[in-house]
Structure 1
Amino acid sequence: MLQRKFDKIVNGFFPNAIDAKDTSIQYMGKMQEEHGINVSKVLMATSLCSDDINVPSTTFFNVLFGPFIMGGLGGIPFAGKTGMTAFAHHIPDDGAAFIFYGPHIGVTLEGEAGRMYRPRQEQPGNSCGALMLALDRFTKDSSYKPDLVEDDYQQMMLETSLLPYRDEILASDHPQVAITEATFKVIDQKIHEYLKATKNEFHVDKVALLGGIIINTDYGLDDYFAVRNFEVVDMKTLA
């Protein structure tokens, strides 16, 4: 079966990755059973790449309210503190909040990372396109620095955020994977920063965070998710 072949290929790059839909079920169960969160009163925010391929990745979208969309190219939460504040104000009464975040990367049956076969396309294309573009620019020019132009702001800010990781990315045996891992670190840092900065706007006790990497496969097959962080933040004690 193709799914089993993908299991082996995906786990070669991401050893702990599991089916994205199974991830949804597992972590909604954790929220409810281990942390007392009523999932029928949870508003979800996402900080995922705006790529259309990510929409059907998990069943969170079928169960939870939302999503409130924070992410742009690469999954960076470009909605910022204002977006986090708006999200805080939209949570159901006596409910809870959940933020699902991270970058994505394609994997093909040929074992290519950073590529995937998209719906109705015969040839593979980049996934994540924004990250692979950044990688291409970093690779071709060691002195490259993004120009923060207004008409391509998100891509330029994404690349600026990744500059501190450039040497590490280019030294990797799998730079496509490395730039994706680096992007997760950027997103994770910003989510925590914005949550802390807006903590007084949240009128709920708990905010659950699930961050990681979505691994895209072929059209019609399930995606995978490699968890990098799961926590339930007690907003009353958040410093």
Structure 2
Amino acid sequence: MTSSSSSTNPVSHAATSFPSNPLTRNSPNQSRTDTVCPHCNHPIKEIKYSGDAFHASLQKLFPGAIRLEEFIFETKQTLVPKGFYPHVNTLVCVGLCRDEITSPFEAEVEAMWGQAFICGSLGGMLFCGKTGFSAAHRHAPITGHFIYYCFTHIAIDHEGIVGSVYRTRSGMEEKTTACGALAAFAAEIASNKLNFNFDEDDIEMSMLKKHIINKTSLSTDAMNAPDLFKVTMAAYETITFDLERHVRRDAGNFKDRRYALFTGIQIHGPGGSDYCWLGKASLLVNGVLSPLVLSTHVSLLPSIGSTIMPQ
């Protein structure tokens, strides 16, 4: 796909923070304006770029997305004052797609917080289930702290084309797609060949399609087929619901534990760059899930299902 169109599919962004990009504030080709987020229609501080197709697409689709390393640093700056201490009382859990180009996210998290428990699969879906989450929660004391970074992913190339990425580090010269699994899902819908039969040789993909359809209002009508952006947003929404459900289950058994939850979308840009769009950030303490605002972010608190997709 090469563009994103309007959608009737709502995407949840409760407890959302949309940051500006502090790494590019001094660029001569940008200006700062007050605007509203196209996803939730709430005011944000947006950076506008001129003459840069990648940043134009990035800011249109993912307003406030920032560089990966800056995002991870800001989460640490926010959580340490709340008692989350690396290598002392905190276990970090990472849910990403299996795609090798998501690996900088895991590396950045582990550099900041230590070794991570891995709970992701194709598209970033959380298919490790009750057994996987229970295993992770047994790897810290009953008073331990847990941080979850659970992100799906998408690419935007230097021409601003959504889903397109160059994998030069593996020697490929032609464009490829990210996320490949989500793009294949979108293609099945568009071709009116959506197959929900369970394939033992393709377990995660079989589950991914059915799970996203069951959890969201994503269209399966070939005449109203969602593009890759809409499918990616549906994946983000599904991951968020699943993460909160599993963590709430653990919190019901361990009242003294604290959980920080981050969900959103990792965006692969030109030249191997990576950005993060934070869809939802929450803190779960004593069974209560509350908004978690990063230290330098604007707080946006839309309700579930109130979002508007970009035109």
Aligning the two structures, in what range does the TM-score lie when normalised by the shorter sequence?
Answer: 0.7 to 0.9
Give the counterpart letter for 1:54 in structure 2: T
Judge conservation of contact 2:252–2:287 (CA < 8 Å) in 1: no
Judge conservation of contact 1:46–1:101 (CA < 8 Å) in 2: yes
Of 258, 283, 289, the match for 1:232:
283
Of 211, 215, 238, the match for 1:186:
238
Judge conservation of contact 2:153–2:179 (CA < 8 Å) in 1: yes
> In the alignment, is residue 82 of structure 1 matched against residue 131 of structure 2?
yes
Task: Identify, as 1 or 2, the structure richer in helix.
Answer: 1
The normalised TM-score by structure 2 is 0.68
Q: Secondary structure at the match of 2:218?
A: helix
> In the alignment, is residue 49 of structure 1 matched against residue 97 of structure 2?
yes
The normalised TM-score by structure 1 is 0.87
Deviating more after overlay: 40-49 vs 177-186: 40-49
Change (3 A) 1:95 1:66: same
CA offset at residue 176 of structure 1? 1.3
Aligned counterpart, 2:43: none
Of 194, 203, 209, the match for 2:261:
209
Change (3 A) 1:117 1:92: farther
> In the alignment, is residue 140 of structure 1 matched against residue 154 of structure 2?
no
Q: Count how many residue pairs are aligned between Structure 1 and Structure 2.
A: 232
CA offset at residue 112 of structure 1? 1.1
CA offset at residue 225 of structure 1? 0.5
Unaligned runs of 5+ in 1: none
C-alpha distance in 1 between matches for 2:160 and 2:84: 39
Aligned counterpart, 2:74: 26
Q: Secondary structure at the match of 1:226?
A: strand
Judge conservation of contact 2:189–2:220 (CA < 8 Å) in 1: no
Judge conservation of contact 2:59–2:65 (CA < 8 Å) in 1: yes
Q: Secondary structure at the match of 2:267?
A: strand
C-alpha distance in 2 between matches for 1:45 and 1:92: 15
Change (3 A) 1:204 1:124: farther
**Alignment identity in percent?**
24
Judge conservation of contact 1:199–1:238 (CA < 8 Å) in 2: no
Considering only CA atoms, is the larger Rg found in Structure 1 or Structure 2?
2
Q: Secondary structure at the match of 1:71?
A: coil
Unaligned runs of 5+ in 2: 1-26, 28-48, 290-311
C-alpha distance in 1 between matches for 2:83 and 2:212: 37
Judge conservation of contact 1:88–1:203 (CA < 8 Å) in 2: no
Q: Secondary structure at the match of 1:165?
A: coil
* 1:10-69 deviation line (CA, Å, top 9, x unaligned): 112211211111100111111113x23223432111111111111113621212122111
Q: Secondary structure at the match of 2:104?
A: coil
Aligned counterpart, 1:96: 145
Give the counterpart letter for 2:133 in structure 1: M
Aligned counterpart, 2:247: 195
Q: Secondary structure at the match of 1:155?
A: helix
C-alpha distance in 1 between matches for 2:252 and 2:143: 16
Judge conservation of contact 1:117–1:217 (CA < 8 Å) in 2: no
Q: Secondary structure at the match of 1:59?
A: helix
Aligned counterpart, 2:209: 159
Judge conservation of contact 1:88–1:202 (CA < 8 Å) in 2: no
Of 40, 63, 69, the match for 2:112:
63
CA offset at residue 237 of structure 1? 2.8
> In the alignment, is residue 8 of structure 1 matched against residue 82 of structure 2?
no
